[in-house]
Structure 1
Amino acid sequence: PTCVLMMNGQPVDGFMGAQPESQLRAFLDKHVPSAEELQAEEQEEEALDALAEGDTEGALEKLQHAVATDPANDDARFDYVKLLLQLGREDDAKVAFAPVIAKAEVSRRLGALKAWMDALDFVASSAHGAGAGAEFDAKIAANKRDFETRFARARWLMAQQRWQEAMDELLEILMRDKAWNDDAARKAYVAVLEIIEPPKVKVADGQIPPEDPVVASYRRRLSSVVLS
């Protein structure tokens, strides 16, 4: 006999022949979500609904529970750490992010959070206060190819959650040097896109969720610069 597991109408795994109970359990555990995973997914959805209704504290509590229920749910952890950072709770965000910091190199979403926290650390260690903008502007006016200052200004803007201004500054670097500093400007730009992209709205099966106009616009700008 042949057993084939179907998901969304497509075969994803299977086996042939009779299998011992231990093998069947292992096969099912591999593909069937646990109660904890399902509970965490439900809590994450409820948190996003709470956010949409303006209930920030309720969303934060539900995301915290989701991460505690299923620590392997990186989507819930992303939303949780992102919300903590948005609320200025940097220390709590770093504690929540610590278990997945090793994944930041291979996960675009987790890497985006690390880029945000790196920007916050950079600003704190460099003592770039609220008046640093004039200093940045003066240096850039004297040398439009002062990429170090432009990148510093972009990170300063990221730390203030001034996302579009940060991307505009990063584009100024990319238009002049696409691969500057081992792609640092492009990587930071992509990180911001990940951070500002809103959760996908629910649509009927077979339909594509609408794309956020700001995210779409800045993706096009990046493509036009990188591919030019």
Structure 2
Amino acid sequence: MIDVTVENFEAEVVAASMNVPVLVDFWAPWCGPCKSLGPVLEKLETEYVGRFKLAKIDSDQEQQLAGMFGIRSIPTCVLLMNGQPVDGFMGALPEGQVRAFLDKHVPTAEEMVAEAEEEEAQEALAEGDTGTALEKLQHAVVTDPANDDARFDYVKLLLQLGREDDAKVAFAPVIAKAAMSRKLGALKTWMDALDFVASGAYDASAEAGFEAKIAANKRDFDTRYARARWLITQQRWTDAMDELLEILMRDKAWSEEIARKTYVAILELIEAPKPKVAEGQIPPEDPVVATYRRRLSSVVLS
């Protein structure tokens, strides 16, 4: 619990809510119901062990903040997440109702652990420590199997390391969701390309064969698409997108727009996780991703 004023509001409430839900309790010393609600909130903050942060604002002393939130009566509680108010309640609710309110919004203990593991994995990857990153991501998936973001990063790293069988095992629980999720669908595109290349017996001489066929017929889209899939298996992402652009420039709708769909999947695979930023700020975009997004737009919209 922390007492919030105008001076520390930005840091203790807005910025803090980018990482953990912040419950703001507007109260006053003379308010009887506030005195009964306060201990309940403090007890739950302790019990929830970091799953939310309690911030208390004396509405008499901090009228500017109370006015900013449109407080008309106290106690009033407002929950902020990612810098924005998302819900709230008025009055001294009993503990059971406050608990139910919190459980609608705050992450579970498992989700908190998985998120922390995922962040540590990204830090390890930035330092080139793939072993630690893989261990952290695996633990995140085991701890919170419903965390598709952690699973995406885990399967993606397995594929990057050439551990295709392990990737397929880790992907199996969510394969049915691939058609409804851009991220999971991107992983399936990668694994389908691996299966395609393996079944076609492509080897180190494959590229020369592709180039010969394409040189003979620029509109041999089947070969161009096969080459793009082969390049995906080599993790030559920009080369694969360049090949797909060649198809799109000649026939955007070929084979039910498979070239565009595969191109979008590659963008999803190569885009690094965006860091959390303060309200109103835009996270930086990978320059390669930005360039290839523009190229796709210019071709598709032309």
Shared fold per TM-score greater than 0.5: yes
Q: Indicate whether 1:199 and 2:258 are aligned.
A: no
Counterparts of residues 1-228 of structure 1 (less than 5 Å):
5-13=79-87, 25-201=99-275, 203=277, 206-228=280-302
In structure 2, how many angstroms separate the alpha carbons of the residues matched to 1:202 and 1:3? Answer: 25
Query: For residues 139-189 of structure 1, what are the alpha-carbon distances to aligned partners after superposition, in whole Å with 9 as ceiling and x for unaligned?
Result: 111111111110000000001101111000000000011111111000100
1:64 positional shift: 0.3
Return 5+ residue gaps in structure 2 as ranges.
Answer: 1-72
Structure with the largest fraction of helix: 1
**Contact 2:82 2:279 (8 Å CA) reproduced:** no
- The amino acid that maps onto 2:145 is P
- The amino acid that maps onto 1:66 is A
Question: Secondary structure at the residue paired with 1:199?
Answer: coil
Return 5+ residue gaps in structure 1 as ranges.
Answer: none
Query: For residues 114-162 of structure 1, what are the alpha-carbon distances to aligned partners after superposition, in whole Å with 9 as ceiling and x for unaligned?
Result: 1000000000011111111111111111111111110000000001101
TM-score, structure 2 as length reference: 0.70
Question: Secondary structure at the residue paired with 2:167?
Answer: helix
1:28 positional shift: 2.7
Question: Secondary structure at the residue paired with 2:204?
Answer: coil
1:207 positional shift: 2.5
Identity of aligned residues (%): 81
1:85 positional shift: 0.2
Question: Secondary structure at the residue paired with 1:137?
Answer: helix
In structure 2, how many angstroms separate the alpha carbons of the residues matched to 1:26 and 1:126? Answer: 55
Greater C-alpha radius of gyration: 2
Higher relative contact order, chain-length normalized (CA < 8 Å, sep 6+): 2
In structure 1, how many angstroms separate the alpha carbons of the residues matched to 2:196 and 2:228? Answer: 11
TM-score, structure 1 as length reference: 0.92
**Contact 2:121 2:133 (8 Å CA) reproduced:** yes
In structure 2, how many angstroms separate the alpha carbons of the residues matched to 1:66 and 1:79? Answer: 10
